[in-house]
Structure 1
């Protein structure tokens, strides 16, 4: 018997879904604290030299996409920067999904104005000197300035919720203590708006020596798809369950590469591809979850998971009005390629996901805790994933000791020991029950033989 859609729905509502009202409360508190911080940063900026911090900030991430699951409370905000004297022009780079941002001066007298405002003609007090390299905006310089400004603003404007600012390039993380038991981590990422609802963020490609690269952000389009098209869909629930299992997998396997090597963006990308292929499937939650895991395992095996928007002219992408320059002008970007993913890590993550899928009921029970309904893992025809291929396998047989030993070994390998515990538990219970029945039978027989003449007929029903 496998975990049914009803059982998965119960697991989703009781363990996975973040309480909506509580989430909204945390978001409002965090947004207020971020607004206060940014106001403090604006008050100590250098006029005409520092980038301008826009009043419109863009919330991103799972909490705004309907994908937040129970666990650590994290929020993401893109902090939009501009400059009154410069235009920021995106320039296509050699790397797909990345741009260089050219800082083009609007007014020739900018440097003179900046020098006058500081009472010095020193070039050290210029936007170009502080934030650009060869005329291009430098992500690291922007981040270092943003970090310093944020730290000074926090120290200047005390808040009862703000604990500290931490983190390194590319995000500065604001830590909020809402209560002794609740901590919110708010990632603040400097970003540039480049038009057509596209942004670039200060997250350069780690494997590239080019330090001028800014990464394209598609969060606006992802949020639109997930919030409008999947608001009440099994697609969304399946994605959140798999995300929960990934985020908490170190509870069951401390060295899980599925937890550390795979990120939530990989899961979201796989789910979007699957949705584009099968937008109106009538299957229940159980089928959607297994389809998602199968699809992801297949992508891991092929070492190929293409970015959902770049080079993808599908109807789902067109419906959210992604620019043609992205869907047709950009080449496919393989998120599982060697540029982004270590092969050994990907292989280990795949093997772990296979084991999770194979023993999903036991895994869910372990996450749900001792009060959950026990769903015993029983193998089925064509349901066992064995390393590189799908293979057929007979249901468990206990006709001889070799079969018993094989089932124990399979269960132990599949779910980190939980399967072994379940099988051994069943065997112990069976032995105890048999001993009790034999003992009761013998005792009853002796009692009947010794007292048969005096036992009324009506009393016999108490032993039936």
Structure 2
């Protein structure tokens, strides 16, 4: 039983969503500053590049929650894909899924990039490389572009370039966080912005990013070291932009996900952290939320429905955990055919990818039980966080 009416409680949910969100002005100001620094860094990296290096393209692509209106406090972070390519006489061609024999050779949600040397190019086209083997020798493993070699090259080049970037009242450094190399922009020795830069190769439909495969190796998946992860960041932003055109004014869809992300973030800081908050990523929550956005009627995202939608998101996650199935939103989701955010050929060619397939059954069961407890105590937790943040804000 809830201690207050749903209407009164919904007001608290709305206030909480405002407390945990960055304002549009905050995001825009820091985004412009960050993009300026990143562009200067990439320009210097181009200057320091040598024969045989990949080409760092001019466009940078902002990805993730800071560009989708889904970022929650405290730390402000920005993620960028940095497109790279080769020049003649080489061509990069993505490969997915199955080979000509119909055998599964590449993990779902990943691709490989074959490097092909073209034989019918005139000499002037290939002069970027001082000798034909430069690029392939440095960055390929058995004819396939190696994400590990690309990451190491990119990180080394960025380390050498960053010492040349001088910005007033800013300190720029790189730090290692797992496999990622993160640029730290320290402003006036008070505020720090984290920036993740990941090399990416564009295919006809999506980007493949040089992020390592972190799952269990399987005998029938050769060359896991050459796997590039699929990125659907561009398609996600397009889907959200299209949905926004049909949703009610001041719709609660973003607030619902942000509240769940903030609760997860807060729970993960507990010792010990509940399983659901540590084993489930923000991307798991986002995927479940995308399905709700696709399936629900537009009027169900009225501002007055915020509390209901947060509860529905929890229930969706519980159902997914108990069924041990949460399918990738863009792989094999033929309900997207009418949305036109990705090609029909891509949607129909790729089979569904279960985001929970490699998670332990006991872990899934524990996470499900914990989310059921959260479902029944959600109002109490929201009230507690709301009061805590109001108390903190009263000091500023």
Q: TM-score, normalised by structure 1?
A: 0.72
Residues 81 and 191, structure 1, Cα contact 8 Å, conserved in 2 = yes
Equivalent in the alignment of 2:108: 96
Residues 114 and 126, structure 1, Cα contact 8 Å, conserved in 2 = no
CA distance in 2, matches of 1:144, 1:66: 31
Trace 1:207-286 onto structure 2 (pairs within 5 A).
207=215, 208=217, 210-230=224-244, 232-252=250-270, 254-282=272-300, 284-286=305-307
Q: Does 1:294 align with 2:315?
A: yes
CA distance in 2, matches of 1:177, 1:323: 41
The structure that has the greater radius of gyration is: 1
CA RMSD of aligned residues (A): 2.6
Q: Does 1:199 align with 2:201?
A: no
Equivalent in the alignment of 2:100: none
CA distance in 1, matches of 2:23, 2:137: 48
More divergent stretch after superposition (267-276 vs 254-263): 254-263
How far did residue 321 of structure 1 move?
2.8
CA distance in 2, matches of 1:222, 1:323: 14
CA distance in 2, matches of 1:301, 1:241: 23
CA distance in 2, matches of 1:109, 1:326: 31
Q: C-alpha deviations, 1:220-267, integer Å up to 9, x for none?
A: 111122244147422221111111111122345542222221111111
| Structure 1: unaligned runs, 5 residues or longer | 374-464
| Structure 2: unaligned runs, 5 residues or longer | 98-105, 218-222, 392-396
Q: C-alpha deviations, 1:385-424, integer Å up to 9, x for none?
A: xxxxxxxxxxxxxxxxxxxxxxxxxxxxxxxxxxxxxxxx
Greater RCO, 1 or 2 (C-alpha within 8 Å, sep 6+): 2
Q: C-alpha deviations, 1:184-237, integer Å up to 9, x for none?
A: 1100001000123x1100124222352111111111111122244147422221
Residues 140 and 169, structure 1, Cα contact 8 Å, conserved in 2 = no
Query: Judging changes above 3 Å, is the alpha-carbon distance between structure 1 residues 371 and 263 closer, same or farther for their aligned structure 2 residues?
Result: closer
Residues 60 and 80, structure 2, Cα contact 8 Å, conserved in 1 = yes
Residues 55 and 87, structure 2, Cα contact 8 Å, conserved in 1 = yes
Q: Residue 43 of structure 2 aligns to a residue in which SS? A: helix
CA distance in 2, matches of 1:269, 1:153: 36
Q: 137, 141, 148: which one pairs with 2:149?
A: 141
Size of the alignment, in residue pairs? 363
Trace 1:59-458 onto structure 2 (pairs within 5 A).
59-85=62-88, 86-93=90-97, 94-107=106-119, 126-160=134-168, 161-167=170-176, 170-196=179-205, 198-207=206-215, 208=217, 210-230=224-244, 232-252=250-270, 254-282=272-300, 284-315=305-336, 318-338=338-358, 341-370=359-388, 372=390
Residues 92 and 98, structure 1, Cα contact 8 Å, conserved in 2 = yes
